[in-house]
Every structure is written in structure tokens, then in C-alpha cells.
């Protein structure tokens, strides 16, 4: 299969490397990362290791069998406008964090996805597969289509274990809730995911998670976010959350797509405003 990864930062690059085992993979990325990959290939450390000499471009050239979208949530509209120029109806899997992404990709054939793999961009051209997670895809309306079965089989054969599910939209909400537990706290405290296991943070983690479970329950989604978040914290303990990586690099975060949907709860509201405050300061400082 010919797969284009649109937004090959930390996660997209790791996925691209894994999937290139038996597929032809194109990484679409920018700046220093693009230059480094073109000059000396992509180096992957951690759970996946090696040097991967993959095609890399700044723009989507069209003509691929599948697009995997891994741009930041707030870059979705810009990415959609770019893809539209060369779009031929190929399916687009979104593994992006956050609520409202699938709905915003109007006019595309979207296959919603979820992945809890952890990835860190160490330097241009060098990424770390820092957490082994799970990956799910499914049709938006829940029906079991042959194409989703085939894609999941392809991913699994390449070493990216992937399961087909009939409740992918619920799972995307649940993943956002897990991110709401892990990402803001790690970004504020500037610690790896595993540090959230500290007994000092237990009540805070529980408070965020329970509020998320309550908001989800109001939509008919029943999930024990506390237990699920603890599992992901353990599996990705060596990873820096994507929000921490954004703050460290002076970039905007995905807080509006991750925590905002849960701010009716006090703990989530507090974290939301703390991260907004930090975001303002780091982005101002980097201007
Ligand atoms: O999705 C992630 C992220 O950092 O955005 C997790 C799974 C929490 C890994 O760090």
C-alpha cells in the first residue's frame, strides 16, 4: 500500500517507520525535520529502532492509497486545505488527539482512529518510540467494512498491532479524556508521563479523571477514565506528553481540543487556564 503520513512529527514519523516495513511510505513534514530526513534518513530509537530512508515532502503530491493525518489538532484546517488540492477520494485515517477533528474534516473519506503509542521528537530527523500503546480504527457509523479490516491487517502485519472496533467515536472521546488527565499536568510540571504515578499527584489525577468520566457519562459514554489513564501512564512512562513537548518548543498546545471539552469540572477548568497562561508566555517568548 502507498501511505502518506501528513504531519510527520514525533508520532507520525514513528508510525511511518513501522509501516514502511511492507508499505511505500511518504512523510509530509516541514523545516529542519524535513531537511534532516532528506539528508540522512529518519533515525528511530526506543521500542522501534533503526534508520529509515523514507521519501519526505513538504506538500501532499496526491495519488496515495491512504493518508494518515497526524498534524496538531489546530492545524487540521490548514492540512485539509493542502490535501484538498490533490485529493482523489483516498481514505484519511486521523490519529490526532482531541475532540471535534473527525467532524471538521468535511468532504473527505475519514476513517477515525485512536493510538496510544508515545513518541518524542529528540532532534530534527531523530524520534523516539517512547511508549508502546494500542491502535484502533473503525468506520464512523460503527459498521464493519472490509476496507477497515484490510487496513488493520496491513498495519498489524507491519508490526503496528491494530484492532477494528465498532465504537471508534466513543473511543476518540475516551482518548481525549486520557489526554486531559496526562497532558496538562505533565506540561505544567514538566515531567515524563510516569511521574504522574507519584502519591502526591494521586488525588489530582483522580479528580481530573472523575470529572472526565462524568462529562462522558452525560453523553452516554461510560468509562473508568482513572483506570484507563493509569494504564496509559504506565505504558508511556518514559514518554514526554505531546503537550509538554509543545511547551518546551515554545509552540501552541492542543489544550482547546483536549481539556476544553471537560472544563465544566473544577480540576479540568483549573488546568485549562494554567496551560492557556503558560502557552501565552511561551509563545510570546519565542516570538
Ligand atoms: O497521546 C499521548 C500524548 O502525549 O499526546 C499519550 C498517549 C499520552 C502519550 O504521551
CATH of the domain at 132: 3.40.50.720
Residue 287 in domain: no
183 lines ligand 1 (CB under 6 A): yes
pLDDT of 119: 96
CA distance 15 to 247: 23
Q: Looking at residue 282, what is its pLDDT?
A: 76
| Residue 101: inside a domain | yes
| Domain shared by 132 and 255, yes or no | no
3-state secondary structure of 94: strand
Which helix (H) or strand (E) element contains residue 188?
Answer: helix 168-189
pLDDT in tens, 20-67: 999 999 999 999 999 999 999 999 999 999 999 999 999 999 999 999
67 and 148 in one domain? yes
As a 3-state breakdown, the chain gives helix, strand, coil percent values, each rounded to 5, of 50, 20, 30
**Distance from the CA of 18 to the center of ligand 1, in angstroms?**
18
3-state class of 125 per DSSP? coil
Of 166, 191, 206, which closes a domain? 166
Q: Does 232 sit in the ligand 1 pocket, CB within 6 Å?
A: yes
Domain end position, chosen among 149, 166, 183: 166
pLDDT tens digit sequence for 137-171: 999 999 999 999 999 999 999 999 999 999 999 99
Q: How many helices (H) and strands (E) does the chain have?
A: 11, 12
**24 and 62 share one domain:** yes
Residue with cell 523545516: 31
Residues 162 and 257 in one domain: no
Q: What is the pLDDT of residue 54?
A: 98
Tell me if 182 CB under 6 Å of ligand 1.
Answer: yes
> Are residues 90 and 133 both part of a single domain?
yes
Atom of ligand 1 nearest to the CA of 245: 4
pLDDT band at 247 (very low <50, low <70, confident <90, very high): very high
Query: Which CATH number goes with the domain that contains 188?
Result: 1.10.1040.10
Instruction: Give 25's DSSP letter.
Output: E
- Confidence (pLDDT) at 285: 67
Q: Grid coordinates standing for 214?
A: 462524568
Residues 87-105 pLDDT 10s: 999 999 999 999 999 999 9
* 75 three-state secondary structure: helix
Within the chain, strands assigned E span 2-6, 24-28, 42-46, 50-52, 55-57, 66-69, 92-94, 110-115, 118-123, 126-131, 135-137, 162-164
pLDDT of residue 286: 61
Average pLDDT of the residues of the chain: 97
- Among the candidates 100, 134, 166, a domain finishes at 166
Q: 20 and 104 share a domain? A: yes
Cross-strand pairs, 126:
43, 123
pLDDT classification of 19: cutoffs 50, 70, 90: very high
- Is 85 annotated in the active site? no
Q: Which protein residue has the closest C-alpha to ligand 1 atom 9?
A: 118
- Which residue's alpha carbon is nearest to atom 7 within ligand 1? 116
**178 CA closest ligand 1 atom index:** 8
* Claim to verify: residue 37 and residue 106 sit in the same structural domain: yes
Q: Say how many domains are in the chain.
A: 2
Is 216 near ligand 1, meaning CB less than 6 Å away?
no
Q: Which of 118, 209, 253, 259 has most ligand 1 atoms within 8 Å of its beta carbon, as the pocket-test mutant?
A: 118
Indicate whether 16 and 146 sit together in one domain. yes
What are the φ and ψ backbone dihedral angles of 122, each rounded to 5 degrees? -80, -45
Same domain, 47 and 136: yes
Residue among 40, 85, 161, 175 flagged as catalytic: 175
Parallel, antiparallel, or unpaired for β 118-123 and 126-131? antiparallel
Residues 42 and 125 reside in one and the same domain: yes
Place of cell 492542543: 254
Domain that holds residue 105: 2-166
Could you tell me the distance, in angstroms and rounded to a whole number, from the CA of residue 254 to the centre of ligand 1?
A: 11
Amino acid at each position: 500500500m502507498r501511505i502518506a503520513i501528513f504531519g510527520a512529527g514525533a508520532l507520525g514519523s514513528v508510525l511511518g517507520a513501522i509501516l514502511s516495513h511492507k508499505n511505500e511510505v511518504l512523510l509530509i513534514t516541514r523545516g529542519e525535520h524535513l531537511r534532516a530526513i532528506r539528508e540522512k534518513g529518519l533515525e528511530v530509537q526506543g521500542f522501534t529502532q533503526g534508520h529509515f530512508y523514507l521519501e519526505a515532502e513538504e506538500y501532499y503530491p496526491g495519488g496515495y492509497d491512504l493518508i494518515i493525518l497526524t498534524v496538531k489538532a489546530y492545524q487540521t484546517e490548514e492540512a485539509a486545505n493542502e490535501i484538498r488540492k490533490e485529493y482523489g477520494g483516498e481514505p484519511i485515517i486521523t490519529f490526532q488527539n482531541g475532540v471535534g477533528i473527525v467532524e471538521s474534516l468535511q468532504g473527505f473519506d475519514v476513517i477515525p482512529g485512536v493510538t496510544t503509542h508515545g513518541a518524542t521528537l529528540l532532534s530534527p530527523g531523530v524520534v523516539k518510540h517512547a511508549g508502546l500503546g494500542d491502535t484502533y480504527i473503525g468506520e464512523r457509523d460503527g459498521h464493519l467494512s472490509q476496507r477497515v479490516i484490510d487496513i488493520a491487517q496491513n498495519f498489524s502485519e507491519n508490526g503496528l498491532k491494530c484492532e477494528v472496533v465498532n465504537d471508534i467515536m466513543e473511543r476518540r472521546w475516551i482518548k481525549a479524556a486520557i489526554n486531559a488527565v496526562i497532558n496538562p499536568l505533565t506540561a505544567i510540571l514538566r515531567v515524563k508521563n510516569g511521574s504522574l504515578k507519584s502519591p502526591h499527584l494521586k488525588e489530582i489525577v483522580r479528580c481530573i479523571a472523575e470529572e472526565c468520566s462524568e462529562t462522558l457519562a452525560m453523553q452516554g459514554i461510560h468509562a473508568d477514565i482513572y483506570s484507563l489513564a493509569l494504564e496509559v501512564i504506565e505504558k508511556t512512562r518514559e514518554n514526554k506528553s505531546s503537550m509538554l513537548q509543545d511547551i518546551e518548543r515554545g509552540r501552541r498546545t492542543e489544550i482547546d481540543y483536549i481539556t476544553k471539552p471537560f472544563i465544566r469540572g473544577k480540576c479540568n477548568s483549573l488546568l485549562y487556564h494554567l496551560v492557556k497562561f503558560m502557552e501565552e508566555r511561551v509563545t510570546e517568548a519565542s516570538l
